[in-house]
């Protein structure tokens, strides 16, 4: 299959985006490329969504399958762990498998401890990856730290690959932190250990980026991240980093947790930063429930950006929470199934109905707000509540188009959604 150019640029932003979009911090544009596919981070491009696999990378088939699923969900960049010789040896095969299936999403190699050795010993891995991630806290100590870091950066320069220098609070450079704590103790008014630690996280990123530039890596090949697990700490370090530099910034609350806690904490931290114009790419690092699809983190990232008016990815479902007026759980099931259906159809509609992403679909549970919300949406259904007539009116562009009832309500409503998308956004012959 022929490759396709996918360039992420400001035109992908939501139309009539609020002022939060226009005041974003200017940063260097970083192009992450696989063949003819380029995703731009920073430099005015829309905030990029990325994710990470949790398969054993040496299992090329399983890793390629998960990358494909994440890409289908909308992850524009996918990171994979490269932690062993076997994993490094599998990277070129993973890339080839994906390209053969028409999945050209750029891959980022995540390196810790032995990245300098793996990149040097497996040149095919270094070439197949579109970007490297280096954690300066995990590249060795003393002279080995400097030598190992330099080795990785020089390989990036030789292969013309961008690098994310990602500092984590849990693996902060202990030598740097120790030196800063010692200097702090000598002050007349020492700062708290927390304040010094947060500043050490920022300085680790800045100093590493400056060293990378000295080694020949240009500023438009550098992405920085400073990740911690506390919401307020993350906001503090990212604000500070943004003040000190114009390198592109990757945002994420690390070890955010699972379920509603992980989603709420990540959204709280990233929304504050994005609203201040900080951040060029995001990853939602939530712990998936056992057996649950990895794609959830992609959907959360998309919904966060879409709810803020920064990007448009897929139609949104408007649904009520339910109350004593709503009967049974029909509307709850329909709201969930409708959202799932929109996600399933989105890959097809991206090719056949550009512009569909702006669609709103209402699924309401009784007559109080149901008809009004349904009429305000592009297409909406108002299901019968307790004691109401067992008929569900469907509205398209504010006009009542049908009344559904019986056991086929869901399938009939799906068919009406498909017809609505085709009529409003469908690509006509000759276009």
- Output Rg (C-alpha) for the chain, integer angstroms: 24
Residue 1 has pLDDT above 80, yes or no: no
Transcribe 316-375 into DSSP letters: EEEE----TTS-TTHHHHHHHHHHHHHHHHHHHHHHH-TTGGG-EEEEE-STTTHHHHHH
282: phi then psi, degrees, rounded to nearest 5: -135, 150
Residue 346 has pLDDT above 80, yes or no: yes
Could you report the per-residue pLDDT of 41-93, keeping only the tens digit for each? 999 999 999 999 999 999 999 999 999 999 999 999 999 999 999 999 999 99
- Given this model, what pLDDT does residue 5 score? 36
Alpha-carbon gap, residue 91 to 187, rounded angstroms: 49
Residue 345 has pLDDT above 80, yes or no: yes
Alpha-carbon gap, residue 35 to 9, rounded angstroms: 18
- Given this model, what pLDDT does residue 330 score? 85
Percent of the chain with pLDDT over 90: 86
Alpha-carbon gap, residue 117 to 294, rounded angstroms: 30
Alpha-carbon gap, residue 261 to 253, rounded angstroms: 12
Which tokens hold the place of 159?
């292969």
3-state SS string over 139-187?
CCCHHHHHHHHHHHHHHHHHCCCCEEEEEEHHHCCHHHHHHHHHHHHCC
In the predicted model, what is the mean pLDDT of the chain? 93
Which tokens hold the place of 191?
């700062």
Q: What is the DSSP letter of 46?
A: P
Residue that is written with structure tokens 């490297």 in the block: 132
Confidence of residue 331 (pLDDT cuts 50, 70, 90): confident
How many beta carbons lie within 10 A of that of residue 103, not counting itself? Answer: 20
Parallel/antiparallel/unpaired status of strands 248-251 and 222-227: parallel
Confidence of residue 293 (pLDDT cuts 50, 70, 90): confident
Confidence of residue 430 (pLDDT cuts 50, 70, 90): low
Cβ proximity of 381 and 394 under 8 Å: yes
Residue 161 has pLDDT above 80, yes or no: yes
């Amino acid at each position: 299959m022929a490759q396709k150019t996918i360039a992420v640029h400001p035109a992908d932003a939501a139309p009539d985006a609020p002022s939060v979009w226009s005041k974003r911090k200017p940063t260097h544009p970083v192009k992450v490329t696989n063949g003819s596919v380029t995703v731009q981070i920073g430099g005015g491009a829309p905030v990029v969504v990325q994710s990470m696999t949790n398969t054993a990378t040496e299992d090329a088939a399983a890793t390629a399958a998960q990358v494909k699923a994440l890409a289908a969900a909308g992850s524009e960049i996918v990171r994979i762990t490269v932690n062993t010789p076997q994993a490094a040896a599998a990277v070129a095969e993973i890339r080839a498998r994906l390209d053969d299936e028409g999945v050209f999403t750029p891959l980022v190699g995540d390196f810790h401890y032995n990245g300098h050795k793996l990149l040097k010993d497996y040149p095919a891995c270094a070439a197949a990856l579109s970007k490297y991630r280096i954690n300066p806290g995990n590249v060795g100590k003393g002279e080995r730290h400097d030598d190992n870091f330099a080795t990785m950066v020089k390989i990036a320069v030789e292969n013309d690959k961008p690098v994310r220098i990602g500092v984590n609070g849990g693996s902060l450079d202990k030598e740097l932190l120790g030196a800063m704590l010692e200097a702090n103790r000598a002050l007349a008014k020492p700062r708290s250990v927390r304040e010094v630690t947060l500043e050490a996280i920022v300085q680790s990123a800045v100093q590493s980026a400056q060293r990378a530039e000295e080694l020949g890596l240009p500023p438009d090949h550098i992405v920085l991240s400073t990740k911690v697990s506390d919401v307020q700490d993350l906001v503090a370090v990212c604000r500070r980093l943004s003040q000190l530099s114009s390198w592109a910034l990757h945002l994420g609350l690390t070890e955010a947790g699972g379920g509603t806690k992980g989603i709420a904490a990540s959204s709280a931290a990233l929304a504050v930063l994005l609203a201040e114009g900080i951040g060029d790419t995001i990853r939602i690092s939530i712990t998936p429930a056992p057996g649950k699809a990895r794609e959830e983190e992609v959907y959360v990232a998309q919904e966060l950006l879409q709810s803020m008016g920064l990007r448009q990815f897929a139609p949104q479902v408007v649904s009520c929470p339910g109350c004593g007026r709503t009967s049974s759980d029909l509307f709850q099931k329909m709201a969930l199934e409708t959202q799932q259906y929109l996600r399933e159809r989105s890959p097809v509609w991206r090719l056949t109905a550009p512009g569909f992403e702006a669609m709103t679909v209402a699924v309401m549970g009784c007559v109080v707000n149901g008809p009004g919300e349904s009429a305000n949406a592009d297409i909406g259904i108002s299901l019968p509540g307790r004691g109401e007539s067992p008929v569900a009116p469907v509205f398209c562009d504010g006009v009542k188009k049908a009344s559904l009832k019986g056991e086929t309500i869901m399938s009939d409503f799906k068919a009406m959604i498909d017809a609505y998308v085709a009529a409003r956004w469908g690509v006509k012959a000759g276009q």
